[in-house]
Amino acid sequence: MIPGGGQPNMQELLQQAQKMQQDLARAQEELAATEVDGQAGGGLVKATVNGSGELRGLVIDPKAVDPEDTETLADLVIAAVHAANENAQQLQQQKLGPLAQGLGGMPGLPF
């Protein structure tokens, strides 16, 4: 309900929703084009993901490769990808968080 008892202007609400949808699509495109890194083992393994969390690259320093201990290498790869994904989630919050908060500011909507 709008303060003062008036009805929400539906055309204005629609325009705001369309703008937010465009802003969201633009932010998602930026996320997909932005890459972040994560590393493990003091930089022996580095993973690169885009802002959407898609793995884009993996670099393994030859020092991390021990044919007798592939389990440690696998752990380092998992840790590097995990770190990169955490960075991607932080980037998503930075880009998309303000847009989600904007939903609560639209008059007439129950958020």
Band (1; pLDDT cuts 50, 70, 90): very low
The owner of tokens 């847009």 is 99
pLDDT in tens, 61-100: 999 999 999 999 999 999 999 999 999 999 888 888 877 6
Answer yes or no: are the C-beta atoms of 88 and 53 closer than 8 Å.
Answer: yes
39 and 45 Cβ atoms separated by less than 8 Å? yes
Predicted TM-score (pTM) of this structure: 0.68
Question: What does the block give as tokens for 11?
Answer: 């055309």
Structure tokens at 102: 């904007």
